[in-house]
Structure formats: C-alpha cells, structure tokens
Amino acid sequence: MSQQHTLTIRVNYHETDGQGRVHHANYLNYFERGRVELLRSLGSSYKQFEADGRMLVVAEMNVKYHQMAEFDDELTLTTTVLEAHGARIRHRYEIFRDDELLVFAESVIACVRSDGRATRLPAELQQGRRRS
C-alpha cells in the first residue's frame, strides 16, 4: 500500500537563478518539504521524530529534470512512499506545473540515531498505520 501526499508550492524569487528559473538545487528543498508534510499527514512530525532520537538522512537521490519552473509558478509536488522497511524509505517525487511534468525523482532515506548508526523505522511508518 503506498502512502502519498500532495503539496502546492509557489516559486519564490530567491529560488531562481539569473535566467529566472528555479535553480536545480532548490528542487531538493522541495522534496524535503514533501517528505516532512507526508510524515505529518501520517500522524507524526519530524520534530518529534528527532526528539525521539532518530533522524532521516538522504542516502540516495536521483533527479530527472524535464522542464524548468520559473518565478511565481504554482507547482504541485506529489511525494509517494514506494517502500518502507527496516531502516530505509524509498520515495518518488513528481513536480507538475498544471499537467506538465517538470521533475521526477526517487530517493532512499535512511533512519539513523543521533550517533549516525542505522536504526529501524517506527512500526507505524513501516506498516503505513496512522498514529493514535
């Protein structure tokens, strides 16, 4: 069962380069916003996740740029959990402007303790259950 969240993003001027297009590195920030909001939609928060002594760190990121977004564009980011087991979560990201796919990406996120050692994801994230 996949877990999914959709977020609307308005491109800010400071996210663009000299050509008025979103700088490629800013898409990584968008993906992080998507992951944080997905976690929130599942009944958790990243702030509490860290307070519990765990962190989610990027282990892999693969991004394909199809078209560039520009200042003031309204984008739709869909973040989907493809797999979540053990200490890893694999996500897919799709950014659209209207019906046009701009960016497609996949990541592997590792769950680690504050000392950097891998640790299992909480059961509710592995099984897709909401927190009570």
Residues 60 and 130: their CA atoms lie apart, in Å, by 26
How many Å separate Cα 111 from the centre of its chain?
14
Supply the DSSP symbol for 30: H
Residues 8 and 23: their CA atoms lie apart, in Å, by 18
Concerning whether 17 is annotated as a catalytic residue, the answer is: yes
Residues 6 and 94: their CA atoms lie apart, in Å, by 9
Which entry of 17, 72, 99, 115 is annotated as an active-site residue?
A: 17
Residues 52 and 70: their CA atoms lie apart, in Å, by 38
102 in Cβ contact with 67 (< 8 Å): yes
Return the active site residues: 17
